[in-house]
Amino acid sequence: MAVVVVAAYVALGGQDASDGLPGFSGPSWVAWLIAACVGAPLAVRRLRPLPALAVVVGASAAATLLDITRDPYIPAALAVYAVALAEPARRASAALALTLVVSAAAVVAGEAVLTPSGPWPEAVATAALVWLVVGAAWAAGRVVRERRGRAARRDRRLAEQTLAEERLRIARELHDIVSHSLSVIVVKAAVANHVAEERPQETRDALQAIEQTGREALTDMRRALGVLRGDAAGQHAPGPGTAPPPGLDDLPPLIRRAEQAGIRTGLRTRLAAPLPAGTALTVYRIVQEALTNVIKHAGDGTHCQVAITADARGGVRVEVVDDGAGNAPGSGRAGLSGGHGLVGMRERVMMYGGTLEAGPRPGGGFAVSARLPPEPAHGTAVSPKEATA
């Protein structure tokens, strides 16, 4: 663009008065210098918008007074656009006002005073045309600046929302892993401490359960961290040595850990079709958290039944019901609705547009029931903002 403007002004500097307008009669090097000053700054107008505008407007005014220019200050309009796009509103408005004053004064002085080419009204009309071109360029720059500002703010909001969702996902995964494993470890440690002298064999069994649960927790933690590192590096597939996320096939070991903690647990699954990996992970985490609550709040001797049903369309129903027959300190679960466990379960279910019901049973005990739709339907799933509320 700068090269085109310089070439055009060099051509205008050598033009005669055959078009009815006064022509430039000075030395050619002056025309070349003015052409360079009008066009060359356009090459750096985005890097130095205000200095470029000052040089272009000054050279354009000189070209007008010397009868070189024939255009309505198009180079000045290009420079003004860059200023409006890059500078704050107050500075851009001041630059616009100064440009309008200088250009109008140069046009009126050149066409009506120094080398009159017509009456005063024609000079004023030409100045008005210059103002229209320059003002339109400035307005276009401000509009583009506002649009880019809104887009940048929207991108920042999306980035903050994504970061918050990622933190929530990490917290949820770590909670599900650590809470369940530590609950089993604490229960078995309490049993071992209570019967250490009277029943050494039961103490050894409890310590073995603690060791096994700790090893499984470390494996789950490494798996979760491996997935998170893969996501951070832009890798979605598990890396070498990283197991896939848990699913329905991992429920039996989960049931065994609950039994080691003294919970008599049964598992019943009825699947009409295989579940997607994401849905299977959600089902696993729901069962894991429900069993964790049974271990922590119902205590040893509780009977618990886990039922998972999936229809042919892919809809899933998960039920974890206990009779509350155990004897655990502080087993009242009325305040469970405010805990992080049920909050995490609700968030997982809401991400799929499902429903979750959790509360005491009329005949005693506690029940957790979750329903997931056949697929994450866009029409029924809640927004991420609602899911994190």
Q: What is the DSSP letter of 117?
A: -
Mean pLDDT, residues 152-175: 79
Q: In sequence order, what are the residues at sequence separation of 6 or more whose Cβ sits closer than 8 angstroms to the Cβ of residue 346?
A: 356
Strand-strand pairing, 366-372 and 355-360: antiparallel
Highest mean pLDDT: which of 120-124, 218-222, 384-388? Answer: 120-124
Instruction: Name which of 8-12, 14-18, 185-189 the model is least confident about.
Output: 14-18
By three-state DSSP, how is residue 275 classified?
A: coil
CATH number for region 261-389: 3.30.565.10
Mean pLDDT, residues 82-108: 90
Report the pLDDT value the prediction gives residue 335, as an integer from 0 to 100. 40
Report the pLDDT value the prediction gives residue 337, as an integer from 0 to 100. 42
Q: What is the DSSP letter of 199?
A: -
- As given in the structure block, the two tokens for residue 136 are 């339109």
Report the pLDDT value the prediction gives residue 288, as an integer from 0 to 100. 87
The CA radius of gyration of the chain, in Å to the nearest whole number, is: 38
Angle between helices 277-297 and 340-351 (to 10 degrees): 160
Mean pLDDT, residues 158-182: 73
Q: Which residue has the tokens 């929530």?
A: 168
Mean pLDDT, residues 290-303: 82
Q: What share of the chain is helix, strand, coil (3-state, %, to 5)?
A: 65, 10, 25
Q: Is the pLDDT of residue 287 over 60?
A: yes
What amino acid occupies position 128? A
Q: What is the pLDDT of residues 358-373, one digit of tens each?
A: 888 887 889 999 999 8
Q: Is the pLDDT of residue 331 over 60?
A: no
Report the pLDDT value the prediction gives residue 247, as an integer from 0 to 100. 82
More confident residue, 119 or 307: 307
Helix or strand holding residue 366 (H, E): strand 366-372
By three-state DSSP, how is residue 368 classified?
A: strand
Q: Is the pLDDT of residue 93 over 70?
A: yes
- As given in the structure block, the two tokens for residue 227 are 């997935």
Residues 53 and 103 sit within 8 Å (Cβ to Cβ): no
DSSP 282-347: HHHHHHHHHHHHHHHHT-TT-EEEEEEEE-TTS-EEEEEEE---S--TT---GGGGGSHHHHHHHH
CA distance 13 to 213: 88
Report the pLDDT value the prediction gives residue 330, as an integer from 0 to 100. 44
Provide the mean pLDDT of the chain: 78
Q: What is the pLDDT of residues 230-275, one digit of tens each?
A: 554 444 444 444 456 778 888 898 888 888 778 889 999 998 888 8
By CB atoms closer than 10 A (0-12, 13-18, 19+), residue 300 is middle
Residues 321 and 268 sit within 8 Å (Cβ to Cβ): no
Helix or strand holding residue 100 (H, E): helix 89-109
CA distance 140 to 145: 9
Q: In sequence order, what are the residues at sequence separation of 6 or more whose Cβ sits closer than 8 angstroms to the Cβ of residue 368?
A: 286, 290, 293, 318, 319, 320, 321, 345, 356, 357, 358
Residues 41 and 24 sit within 8 Å (Cβ to Cβ): no
Query: How confident is residue 31, by pLDDT bands cut at 50, 70 and 90?
Result: confident
Instruction: Name which of 4-8, 137-141, 257-261, 332-336 the model is least confident about.
Output: 332-336
Instruction: Name which of 24-38, 72-86, 150-164, 336-350 the model is least confident about.
Output: 336-350
What amino acid occupies position 9? Y
Q: In sequence order, what are the residues at sequence separation of 6 or more whose Cβ sits closer than 8 angstroms to the Cβ of residue 18?
A: none
Highest mean pLDDT: which of 88-92, 183-187, 253-257, 371-375? Answer: 88-92
Instruction: Name which of 24-28, 95-99, 122-126, 238-242 the model is least confident about.
Output: 238-242
Q: Is the pLDDT of residue 385 over 70?
A: no
- As given in the structure block, the two tokens for residue 276 are 């997607």
- Maximum C-alpha span of the chain: 120
Q: Is the pLDDT of residue 228 over 70?
A: no
